[in-house]
A and B are shown apart, each in its own frame.
Chain A
Amino acid sequence: MTDRQPGASRRQLLGLGAAAAALPFMPHVARAQASGRLVVSTWGGDYARLLGSNIDQPLLAPKNIEVTQDVGTEPARVAKLIAQRRLPRGNVDIICAQAPQSYDLNEAGLLEPLDEGKVPNMKYVLPELRTNYALPHIFSPQIFIYNTERVQQPPTAFADLMADRYKGKVGLLDNSFIYIVMAAALAKTGDASNFAAAKPDLEKLVRDGNKTYTVTDAFAPALRSGEIDVGPVWQARTIFWQKAGVSVQSSFPKEGSIVYVSSMSVPKNAPNKTAAFAYLNAMLEPSAQRGFADSMGYLPTSSQATLEGEVAQRLALPEPKPKLVAPDYAKLAAARDDLNDWWRRLLDGR
């Protein structure tokens, strides 16, 4: 409708009082160079709040960029983006998504290519996390979380999870099973994308009566009650649950850690791309990055954002530095449907 009108008539409309009243519903109408309105499609809760206090207010407000958050679950927000793909102008400038999802969106041709000309701070992004369609915002390595009261001998490799001492006491998160497959593959073959090689290990884990959880929040009570003792989760979780008073600790797998990356990208039909690039640049500023490490326990993705004090200690990686392995999203995307199907049937046991 308005999206299809030529620019001139839209400018005419602007003169009318009616347009002013409609403004909040058309965030793309009023806009100028690296200023104006910007819509960020994001998860709600702490993440959205921290975006506001670390990026929107301190870094973008001075530039006259007014940020509006479009809060929702990732599937709902991605669905909206897909539904709007054919519109010349969408209504989202920045989409926050997990890295595999960003890869899929880019494959579908929905994302604007990024380079250092558009986002200067991109040159500081950790090289192993860098792509030209999505910028990593925060990340967290996969570790073995364990209950310090019941586990004297923490696991140090994926193979340890299959040891008799943990039989039935390993917790697996259903919503990140693909990362567990990758960890198993990495341990077994050195190649995190050799999914087929990892299947027997996962099958053994599931059939040994280890527990699977549909929601992340069910994991901590299970660790506390003794339903489980160990499990592969993100390092950020250990820190989060330590804060909540659960006696848990992380141990790093010696074969290396798969990393979880939360990324941001710009849809091709974003109404305010200039502001969107400015937002991405601000997001990589050390001050913004540190805010997320402090509060959520995620690691910064910019080499400039060094951590200090207690936070640095809590998030410190052990020496020698563990190998951090970013998934091969292309191989992951190709195998995902089959893996999903296999995993469902494995859990179902039918």
Chain B
Amino acid sequence: MSDTYLRIEGLTKRFGASTAVQDVNLDVRQGEMLVLLGPSGCGKTTTLRMVAGFVEASEGRILLEGRDYAGLPPYRREMGMVFQSYALFPHMTVAQNVTFGLRMRKLPKAEVEARLAETLEMVKLASMADRYPRQLSGGQQQRVALARALAIRPKVLLLDEPLSNLDANLRQQVAREIRGLQRAAGLTALMVTHDQDEAMMMADRLVVMNEGAVQQVGTQEELYERPANPFVARFIGHSNLIPGELAEGERLMLPGGGAIRLAGGYTATGPCTLAIRPERVRLCGPEDAGARVVATVEDATYVGAHIEVLLVLPDGTRLILHDPTDGGAARRFAAGDRAGIAWDPASERLFDSAGAPLAARTPVPA
């Protein structure tokens, strides 16, 4: 891509015999917020720390505006970092914290003062300049950490789980603030999080990682609608994963007996996994023509946004369904009732035994 600003090429980190990060390739565009998402231990933090320079890469290149940064010490990389623990200097005031990077660069005093005022204004902490970190709330500390990183006008802003130490009710607000500042400054940012909602809210694009490797890169919609493999399907927005054997291209034979009538037609045969999202499944009468499989209602729970229905397929596999609270069908069924289950062809994703998506023979309209 021509507008790539930060390019990560073949980045690999090995600790002894184990590989923490395996051949990561990423292109980050100018002004973009790219969020690395994955369960703990997936290699996302190690990747970020390699970009920051705290961890030396075993292999690979980190190209920023065409220059390789992989061999540079962190203090020459000009990357502003916001840490999960904020890592403010406890023996310095807010002002001293924010100007630390500027003082290290030996900027003229007037310039330092001007940037301090400007940055504190940006994070709305002008009145706190003389306080020490221990005198601030968690949210305020977070903003100081952000201000400190922004003050040096970094080439890339790195955010390591920036919201996870905040109260749940503060998170959304701070997330929007960070996003706003990043956009306003036109900063290229790389963020790491394990929290899907946070990632969805902040990212221009997401990178899903698992076991040291990138699973999929894309926008929120791409990941949600077209997960590249069962892991992404389950990790982003939860999916029911139903293993089975593909027969005649349109029936999924369940291992314990019974079959599901698939929406699309497929050319492949053999073992595969059906992924279907709870909110894309509908209940209907067991004899209804649209029913793809008939299941037994085990339980139904009203959770506010929807009714969560737990169903048992003929072979014992469990399936979760989210039924709308207004005008949904769930209220017509009681525990123990038999119910038909239906979905649209566009909602159905089928993966082969290697985890690769299978294309429906009849192209599904978008």
| Direct A–B contact in the complex, CB atoms closer than 8 angstroms | no
Spell out A's residues near B (CB within 8 Å): none
